[in-house]
């Protein structure tokens, strides 16, 4: 099977390039120099010129705080580009997989968010990603929107690598404890995307929105403790509320995702983030 991937340097894009051959999939990954999401028409043209049997968009504007001041630019990348991709896929009858985020929700309560739950982004990043979802659905083709949260690997810019970097010079850190979610390995997201793409390409009539995040749920503070324990680093973590660590953009307090339909329809269960963490963290 041939799959066209938008993105080449991001965590999930890199994981797709690893997982593809292992799963019998030929991956063609397009970087910004080949398909710049700030120019949606070039993305659509790349799909039209491709012989791929499925398309996965693993590229996005992910600078959450910067999006507050540059929402128009973020909307082109997160909203207009996926819509153009989905329209091109609909024209060529190729299934499209779009990676989205828990930030489309307002983070209220403690119950896991179902895929059909009412959305309510708190900031620009969430609004632009929701615009992308709406554009994909409106295109009318075969699609899957896969919302995920708290993505990590051992190399990219993410919470795990940040904590490990800080632990090189600090033996005590204050970490937010009132935000809860499921840390999700990039490799697991890549594999889930490929399973879904294969199913849609094989004719499974399962277009829709799905959730996929790691288990069990944990706070950022407890995730940090697990990182340091796994890495064998003696760092004291002190719990603090979100208000004590202000960001330009608000973060959802509840990032729990109800992933049951992904398991039921595609056979893809929630990954164990603790086992994945042990694989990506080098013990010191």
Q: What is the pLDDT of residue 282?
A: 78
pLDDT in tens, the chain (284 residues): 999 999 999 999 999 999 999 999 999 999 999 999 999 999 999 999 999 999 999 999 999 999 999 999 999 999 999 999 999 999 999 999 999 999 999 999 999 999 999 999 999 999 999 999 999 999 999 999 999 999 999 998 999 999 999 999 999 999 999 999 999 999 999 999 999 999 999 999 999 999 999 999 999 999 999 999 999 999 999 999 999 988 999 999 999 999 999 999 999 999 999 999 999 997 65
Q: Which two tokens stand for residue 188?
A: 């697991």
* Cβ-proximal residues to 165 (8 Å cutoff; 6+ apart), any chain: none
Strand partners, 129: none
Report whether CATH 3.40.50.80 matches the domain 2-157+184-215+257-272.
Answer: no
- Say whether 103 is catalytic: no
Contact 171, 234 (CB under 8 A): yes
pLDDT at 115: 98
Q: How many CA atoms lie within 13 A of 236 on its CB side?
A: 3
Residues 6+ apart with CB under 8 A from 33: none
2-6 and 208-211 beta bridge pairing:
unpaired
Catalytic member of 103, 125, 143, 210: 125
pTM: 0.97
**First-to-last CA distance in the chain?**
40
């Amino acid at each position: 099977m041939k799959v066209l991937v938008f993105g080449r340097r991001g965590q999930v894009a890199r994981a797709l390039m690893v997982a593809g051959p292992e799963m019998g999939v030929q991956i063609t990954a397009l970087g910004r120099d080949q398909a710049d999401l700030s120019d949606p028409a070039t993305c659509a043209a790349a799909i039209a010129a491709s012989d791929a049997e499925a398309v996965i968009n693993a590229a996005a504007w992910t600078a959450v705080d910067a999006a507050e001041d540059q929402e128009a630019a973020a909307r082109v990348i997160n909203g207009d580009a996926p819509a153009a991709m989905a329209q091109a896929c609909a024209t060529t009858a190729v299934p499209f997989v779009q990676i989205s985020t828990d930030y489309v929700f307002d983070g209220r309560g403690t119950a896991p968010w179902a895929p059909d739950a009412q959305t309510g982004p708190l900031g620009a990043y969430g609004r632009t990603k929701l615009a992308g979802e709406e554009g994909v659905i409106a295109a009318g083709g075969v699609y899957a929107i896969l919302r995920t949260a708290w993505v990590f690997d051992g190399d990219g810019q993410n919470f795990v690598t940040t904590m490990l970097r800080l632990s090189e010079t600090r033996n005590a850190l204050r970490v937010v404890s009132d935000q809860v979610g499921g840390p999700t390995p990039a490799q697991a997201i890549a594999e889930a995307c490929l399973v879904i793409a294969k199913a849609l390409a094989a004719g499974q009539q399962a277009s829709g929105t799905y959730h996929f995040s790691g288990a069990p749920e944990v706070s950022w503070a407890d995730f940090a403790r697990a990182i340091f324990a796994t890495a064998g680093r003696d760092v004291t973590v002190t719990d603090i509320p979100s208000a004590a660590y202000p960001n330009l953009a608000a973060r959802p307090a509840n990032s729990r995702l109800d992933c049951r339909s992904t398991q039921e329809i595609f056979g893809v269960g929630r990954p164990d983030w603790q086992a994945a963490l042990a694989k990506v963290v080098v013990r010191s």
